[in-house]
Amino acid sequence: MSIASDSYGTVEGVAALARTWTTDDTFLDADAYQDGTNPSLTTVEKWINQVSALLNTALAKYGFVVPITTSRGVLVTASIVEQLVADLCAYANSKGRFLTEKFTDKGLSVWRAIRDDLDEWVLEYAPGLEQDGAERVASNIDEIGFRSTNEKGEATYPIFQREGFGNRFQDWDKR
């Protein structure tokens, strides 16, 4: 396995945050000559790709063109991905924030917590990413959905009309 081209961060960056789980600051796959680390190099690469994909999905939800390619944007996205993957490394070794009493009392899954962290991160960093030059396009996340036609293609109308609630509207353009 290798890190995908649209992923953020490096194995070395994760190893710097999760040295306890490495051998000589390196994640290893087991082979005939040596024991591997827990987690293995392949697992860490897979997690970097998965967390990056979740981050790209969150960024796209808020209108960013992914992957982020500005130099500062790449650094900050790498930092959140590497931190979350380091948290997964600790979890794989029965340590870290995903095993605290406070976390387990919430009843969240590890991956749900990561998705929530990424969503909050995108909301916090969106203005800075945009000011740094990260491309952003219009998103329909804040639009109200509606159907103007039914399955037969016939026009649909609201179930309730405003007048039914006593609302009377004056069209000030018509005098």
Residue 170 counted as domain residue: no
Residue 147 lies in a domain: no
Residue 85 counted as domain residue: yes
- In terms of residue numbers, what domain contains 84? 11-131
- CB atoms under 10 Å from CB of 13, counted, come to 18
Distance of alpha carbon 28 from alpha carbon 44, whole angstroms: 10
Give the 3-state secondary structure of residue 3. Answer: coil
pTM (predicted TM-score): 0.78
Q: Residue 43: pLDDT band by 50, 70, 90 thresholds? A: very high
Contact 20, 4 (CB under 8 A): no
Mean pLDDT in the chain? 90
DSSP string, 89-144: HHHHTT-SGGGSHHHHHHT--HHHHHHHHHHHHHHHHHHHHHHTT--B----TTSP
Q: What's the total number of domains in the chain?
A: 1
Mean pLDDT of 4-22: 97
Q: What is the mean pLDDT of residues 144-171?
A: 73
- Domain membership of residue 151 (yes or no) is no
Segment 56-69, tens digit of pLDDT: 999 999 999 999 99
- Look at residue 97 in the predicted model and tell me its pLDDT: 95
| Whole-angstrom distance, CA of residue 57 vs CA of residue 24 | 34
**Residue 159 belongs to a domain:** no
Give the pLDDT score at 137: 86
Confidence of residue 94 (pLDDT cuts 50, 70, 90): very high
Burial of 143: CB neighbours in 10 Å, binned 0-12, 13-18, 19+? exposed
